[in-house]
C-alpha cells in the first residue's frame, strides 16, 4: 500500500506543474478575452472570441515599443552625456559596460574557450577565452588576447599568448566558464549548445 501511495504522489508531482501551467494560461486567456468583450459587443453587435486577447497582446507590445524608444532612449542619452563629462567615472563605466556586454550582451566575447600552455617546462596549461585575435594595433603578430577567469569569482586576468600555445576547445563556452568558476568541480555538458 505504501508503494502504491508513493507512485500516486510521484505521479502528482509530474502532473501538478503541467496542470497548474494549463490552468494559469486558461485563466489569463479568459480574463483578458472577457475584459474587452462588452466593449467590442457594443461596437460590433456580437461577441468575437479571442479578439480581446489579441487586442491586449497588441496593446502591451505597443506599450513596450513606446517605452523602449520614446522613454528609454532619451534617458540613456542624458545618462551618457553626464558620464562623459566626468573622466574617471567615464573610464570605469565604459570598462564595466564593455565587460558586461562581452558576457551577456549582443556582442558576446567569451564564446571561444581555449586551453593555453603557460609553462613549456612543466607543460602547465590553463583554461580561458580568446577575446581578441587581431593585435596589429600593438604591433604584435601571431598573438591573441586570452582572458582567464578566476575560480569562485567573476574576476580574472588577461594574457597575450603565442598562437602556437593556444588550443581552441570544441566545447560550449558557457560550460567551460561554469567549469572554471566552480574551480573544476562542475561537470561539463558537451551537448548543451555550442555558442
Q: Could you tell me the CA-to-CA distances from 9 to 14, 19, 24, 73, 98 in Å, in that order?
A: 9, 15, 22, 52, 49
pLDDT grade, residue 14 (50/70/90)? Answer: low
Q: What is the pLDDT of residue 109?
A: 65
Question: Which one-letter DSSP state was computed for residue 164?
Answer: G
**Model confidence at 102: pLDDT above 70:** no
List of residues 6+ apart from 184 with CB closer than 8 A: 151
In the chain, what percentage of residues exceed pLDDT 70?
83
The Cα–Cα gap between 127 and 178 comes to: 11
- What's the rounded Cα separation, in Å, for the pair 177 and 155? 12
Collapsing DSSP states into helix, strand and coil, what is residue 109? coil
Tell me if residue 184 falls in helix, strand or coil.
coil
Residue 141 — φ and ψ, nearest 5°? -110, 150
Confidence at 101, pLDDT banded by 50, 70, 90: low
In tens, the pLDDT along 16-45 reads: 777 777 787 778 777 777 777 777 777 777
Please check the confidence at residue 188 and state whether its pLDDT lies above 80. no
Residue 153, CA distances (Å) to 89, 117, 150, 171, 180 in order? 24, 22, 6, 21, 9
pLDDT per position as a tens digit, 128-164: 888 888 888 778 888 888 888 877 666 778 778 888 8
Average pLDDT in the chain: 76
The partner residues of 147 in beta bridges, in order of sequence, read 129, 158
Asked if residue 172 lies in contact with residue 112, where contact means CB atoms within 8 angstroms, the answer is no
Q: How confident is the model at residue 181 (pLDDT cuts 50, 70, 90)?
A: confident
Most confident of 91-100, 133-142, 181-190: 133-142
Contacts of 36 (CB under 8 A, 6+ apart): 51, 52, 55, 56
Which residue shows C-alpha cell 472577457? 34
From the list 113, 109, 110, 125, the residue with the least C-alpha distance to 169 is 113
60-78: average pLDDT: 76
Grade residue 192 by pLDDT with cuts at 50, 70 and 90.
low
For the entire predicted model, the pTM comes to 0.43
Amino acid at each position: 500500500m505504501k508503494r502504491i501511495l508513493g507512485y500516486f504522489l510521484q505521479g502528482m508531482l509530474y502532473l501538478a506543474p503541467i496542470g497548474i501551467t494549463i490552468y494559469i494560461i486558461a485563466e489569463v486567456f479568459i480574463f483578458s478575452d472577457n475584459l474587452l468583450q462588452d466593449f467590442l459587443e457594443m461596437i460590433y453587435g456580437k461577441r468575437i472570441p479571442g479578439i480581446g486577447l489579441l487586442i491586449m497582446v497588441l496593446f502591451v507590445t505597443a506599450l513596450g515599443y513606446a517605452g523602449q524608444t520614446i522613454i528609454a532612449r532619451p534617458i540613456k542619452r542624458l545618462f551618457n552625456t553626464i558620464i562623459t563629462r566626468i573622466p574617471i567615472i567615464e573610464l570605469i563605466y565604459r570598462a564595466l559596460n564593455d565587460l558586461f556586454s562581452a558576457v551577456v550582451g549582443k556582442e558576446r566575447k567569451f564564446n571561444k574557450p581555449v586551453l593555453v600552455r603557460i609553462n613549456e617546462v612543466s607543460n602547465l596549461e590553463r583554461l580561458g577565452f580568446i577575446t581578441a585575435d587581431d593585435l596589429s594595433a600593438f604591433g604584435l603578430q601571431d598573438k591573441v588576447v586570452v582572458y582567464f577567469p578566476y575560480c569562485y569569482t567573476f574576476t580574472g586576468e588577461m594574457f597575450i599568448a603565442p598562437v602556437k600555445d593556444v588550443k581552441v576547445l570544441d566545447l560550449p563556452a558557457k560550460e567551460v566558464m561554469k567549469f572554471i568558476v566552480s574551480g573544476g568541480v562542475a561537470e561539463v555538458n558537451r551537448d548543451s549548445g555550442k555558442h
